[in-house]
Amino acid sequence: MPVQIHETLDNKTLYINFEEVVTGNRTAHKYSMRTEKQLHYGDKVDGVTSIIKNVDDASGLMDWAIYEAERSGVPDQARRLTKQSIESGLQLHAAIENYIKYGKIDRSNKTFMNWYNRIDETDWKASEVYVFDRTYLYGGTIDALSWEPSTEEGVPGHYVIHDFKTKNTKSYNNYQVYQKDRCQLAAYARALRSMNSIYYPIMEGRLHYIMRDSDKVEVQTIDLGHYEDMFINSWKLYDFVKRDKYKKQKQFRLGG
């Protein structure tokens, strides 16, 4: 159970606990938090990605799964490709984390090198940072944070929140705007504000799209305020469904 210590702007200390909870063939990310004055962690809450599942239109996934099965002759080809994509993404995240934390450059990882050769000079401050929103009760892990100095006299600098995504070039060219990814960054920025984190103010969010099958890399800057509104609406639906499910389970128990 990894625990991270997080400092606040008013010199307090927060402890955030992260766990992977396995239920059947699914793994859920759970977060909990306590302050320096509390002896025990609060309730475990879901991660951001569990909350924003309803943001993107996933109606085409079944067609894609059928197409891959017919094309390859392997019934579970879509599952295999998804597993490979996840493994590729994890390897890239590990390479970027080692670069940000220790300055290590993994020249054997072609996808990482495509990103490294195209990224501008960046003042990286942290990577794999746990966050916890005390209002909406969710957690998450930020890929990376950097500091952007001011270019105008009298205007302070600010932190930038980054998330790294691997995509196939054809899929990226077809969509380019992934609402779920944008909501994810906005939710992380909201959580930092809720924590009164030292990594605040967050004034920018950047999504790094790194292709697995080509050397294409694109960085999108997003409007955090707009997508925070979208995230909150997503959270309301998530919360409604969760409470409705509990009510139904309770009714079944009473009626059984």
What is the pLDDT at residue 98? 96
The pLDDT tens digits of the residues spanning 50-70 come to 999 877 655 554 554 554 566
- Dist CA 64 CA 231 (whole Å): 27
The pLDDT tens digits of the residues spanning 149-191 come to 888 887 788 999 999 999 989 889 988 889 999 999 999 999 9
What is the pLDDT at residue 127? 96
What is the SS3 assignment for 212-245? CCCCCEEEEEECHHHHHHHHHHHHHHHHHHHHHH
- Dist CA 42 CA 132 (whole Å): 11
Tell me what the mean pLDDT of segment 22-31 comes to. 84
Mean pLDDT score across all residues of the chain: 86
Dihedral sign, CA of 181, 187, 191, 197? positive
What is the pLDDT at residue 156? 84
> Residue 201: is the preceding peptide bond cis (ω within 30°)?
yes
Domain 3-255 listed as CATH 3.90.320: yes
What is the pLDDT at residue 84? 61
What is the pLDDT at residue 66? 57
What is the pLDDT at residue 10? 96
Compute the C-alpha angle 237/33/181, nearest 5°: 45
Tell me what the mean pLDDT of segment 222-245 comes to. 89
